[in-house]
Amino acid sequence: METSFAITGKGYVIVAADTTAARSIVKMKTDEDKIKALGPHLLMAYSGEPGDTVQFAEYVERNIRLYQIRHHYSLRPSAAASWVRRSLAESLRSRHPYSVNLLLGGYDEASDEPKLYWIDYLGTMTEVPFGAHGYGSYFALSLLDRCVKKYLVISGALICHSRYHNPDATLEEGIETLKRCIDEVAKRLIVSPSKYKVKIVDKDGVREIEL
Amino acid sequence: MSIMENNGGSVIAMVGKECVAIACDLRLGNQALGVSSDFQKIFPVTDRIFLGLPGLGTDVTTLKELFRFRVNMYTIKEEREIEPETFAHLVSSTLYEHRFGPYFIEPVMAGLSKTPSGGFKPFIAATDLIGCLNFAKDFVVAGTASSKLFGVAEGLWEPDLEPEDLFETISQTIMNAVDRDAYSGWGCIVHVITKDQIVTRTLKARMD
């Protein structure tokens, strides 16, 4: 089943989404990109009803771009997230609501902070240190929860248990944590996705990495 | 599962002696899965009014934004701040506008209203999701832990509590109530409003 995660660290957000396009029990495609770059410092992972997802993501992408063209600067992550949330909330009470779940990760250049927003198809939005959607979320969230700040005493010295989520983790540590999430989902979920696309946003902008 | 219980969360407000207190939990869930432990449901309206919005997560944010807009319009037109009684009716009529397709929120408000003699009178109120007002003299509750909040508050609350005692009473009430509710909890926040200050405290609560 569709799964997406995102985690924040020191000055970056990593966003990962599986690449399968499924229809019923059949995998139609295994290289679908479900993460869009909405701007120079903004990423959006989308999942949900096929058709709605791409349609809504493109609608958001073009509107965020329109704002950039009109005002000569791009929306900050919090503002973009509020706009996307409102679009979903208004859609919810319309005749044909979009059924799309989102993870919006961005780097706020004004405050030099990474930001991550968890948004569901109802328009529920919250800022989180790490978030996930789909069946994978049950495994990934509990894994990441194990250590927001947990210290182990090994031979008398305090050592940060950085295998799990740590908001001050370096990029390398963040990628390791993400790999643990993916491995956990692969191990425990029956219908686990085989391939993921991983993108990073930090002060230098948006880029894709291979795991 | 009911739409009112989709995201979980609870709010309570209590009257004290020339003060009021309002408290909420910080959980945002998706059914039984916890998503965030930093989702505030209480928002300042004026310097002397707070509004709690427990219920469906999307409507918490939508209504927060809608009331901010409507209160700002009121302030500009009237050239004065809104009084708690007036605000309660604004909340009520806003919800009743959506009588046949409501926002899934049961608002709770707390504030101090001005008296003709220049003093302040504590005010609390709550409404149901279509805006039926309930002005209480003691306390009001709402959210997934409302039945538990009623029980604890009934046992702990007494009239004319001083601000510090009111803080203790509301804190013990919300913490013990949300610990018995799977859909509420994950931290609490309390605001105590007195005539010359607002004290906001985050409680160290059970995080399981």
ipTM for this model: 0.96
Mean per-residue pLDDT, A6-10: 97
Banded model confidence at residue A207, pLDDT cuts 50, 70, 90: very high
Residue of chain B nearest A83, judged by CA positions: B62
Task: Inspect the interface and report whether the beta carbons of A137 and B33 lie closer than 8 Å.
Answer: yes
Q: What is the pLDDT of residue B1?
A: 84
Q: Within a 10 A sphere around the Cβ of A120, how many other Cβ atoms?
A: 22
Mean per-residue pLDDT, A180-205: 95
Residues of B in contact with A122 (CB under 8 A): 6, 56-58
| Rounded-to-integer distance, Cα B191 and Cα B171, Å | 10
Mean pLDDT of all residues in chain B? 98
Q: What is the pLDDT of residue A164?
A: 77
- Give the DSSP letter string of A92-138: HTSSS---EEEEEEEEETTTTEEEEEEE-TT--EEE-SEEEEETHHH
Banded model confidence at residue B25, pLDDT cuts 50, 70, 90: very high
Q: Within a 10 A sphere around the Cβ of B20, how many other Cβ atoms?
A: 29
| Rounded-to-integer distance, Cα B119 and Cα B122, Å | 10
Q: What is the pLDDT of residue A146?
A: 80
Q: How many CB pairs under 8 A join A and B?
A: 47
Please give the residue that has the higher pLDDT: either A192 or A17. A17
Q: What is the pLDDT of residue A156?
A: 46
Mutation site, B1, B58, B100, interface A, largest A CB count within 10 A: B58
Task: Inspect the interface and report whether the beta carbons of B36 and A85 lie closer than 8 Å.
Answer: no
CA distance B55 to chain A (A): 11
- Where along chain B do its domains lie? 3-203
| Per-residue pLDDT at B181 exceeds 90 | yes
Q: Which of B36, B65, B101 sits opposite A126 (nearest CB)?
A: B36
In chain B the first and final C-alpha atoms are separated, in Å, by 22
Name the nearest CA neighbour of A64 among A91, A39, A88: A39
Site of tokens 């160290």: B204
User: Is B202 an interface residue toward A (CB < 8 Å)?
Assistant: no
Kind and range of the H or E run holding A51:
none
Residue of chain B nearest A90, judged by CA positions: B62
Name the nearest CA neighbour of B123 among B19, B10, B11: B19
User: Is B118 an interface residue toward A (CB < 8 Å)?
Assistant: no
pLDDT (tens digit, 9 = 90+) per residue, A14-37? Answer: 999 999 999 999 999 999 999 999
| Per-residue pLDDT at A155 exceeds 90 | no
Q: What is the pLDDT of residue A163?
A: 55
Q: What is the pLDDT of residue A147?
A: 55
| Per-residue pLDDT at A96 exceeds 60 | yes
Task: Inspect the interface and report whether the beta carbons of B61 and A89 lie closer than 8 Å.
Answer: yes
| Rounded-to-integer distance, Cα B11 and Cα B42, Å | 8
Mean per-residue pLDDT, B58-80: 98
Q: Which of A92, A118, A122 sits opposite B35 (nearest CB)?
A: A118
Task: Inspect the interface and report whether the beta carbons of B61 and A131 lie closer than 8 Å.
Answer: no
Q: What percent of chain B has pLDDT over 70?
A: 100
Task: Inspect the interface and report whether the beta carbons of B58 and A123 lie closer than 8 Å.
Answer: yes
Site of tokens 């992408």: A61
Q: Left, alpha or beta for B207 (phi > 0: left; psi -120 to 50: alpha)?
A: alpha
CA distance A147 to chain B (A): 13
Mutation site, A93, A118, A124, interface B, largest B CB count within 10 A: A124
Banded model confidence at residue A152, pLDDT cuts 50, 70, 90: very low
Task: Inspect the interface and report whether the beta carbons of A138 and B33 lie closer than 8 Å.
Answer: yes
| Rounded-to-integer distance, Cα B93 and Cα B105, Å | 14
Task: Inspect the interface and report whether the beta carbons of A89 and B33 lie closer than 8 Å.
Answer: no
- Which positions 52-71 of B are in contact with A (Cβ < 8 Å)? 56-58, 61-62, 65
Mean per-residue pLDDT, B16-31: 98
CATH architecture under which domain B3-203 falls? 4-Layer Sandwich (3.60)
* Tokens found for residue A207: 């880029």
pLDDT (tens digit, 9 = 90+) per residue, B115-169? Answer: 999 999 999 999 999 999 999 999 999 999 999 999 999 999 999 999 999 999 9
Mean pLDDT of all residues in chain A? 92
C-beta contacts of B198-203 below 8 A and 24+ residues apart:
B198/B47, B199/B163, B199/B167, B201/B167, B201/B171, B203/B171, B203/B174, B203/B175
What is the pTM (predicted TM-score) of this model?
0.95
Q: Which of A85, A126, A138 sits opposite B28 (nearest CB)?
A: A126
* Tokens found for residue B163: 């601000």
Beta bridge partners of A116: A105
Say if residues B21 and B110 touch (Cβ distance below 8 Å). Answer: yes
| Per-residue pLDDT at A154 exceeds 50 | no
User: Is B28 an interface residue toward A (CB < 8 Å)?
Assistant: yes
Banded model confidence at residue A165, pLDDT cuts 50, 70, 90: confident
Residues of A in contact with B65 (CB under 8 A): 86
| Per-residue pLDDT at B72 exceeds 50 | yes
| Per-residue pLDDT at A1 exceeds 80 | no
Q: Which of B7, B38, B58 sits opposite A89 (nearest CB)?
A: B58
Task: Inspect the interface and report whether the beta carbons of B36 and A138 lie closer than 8 Å.
Answer: no
CA distance A93 to chain B (A): 9
Say if residues A118 and A46 touch (Cβ distance below 8 Å). Answer: no
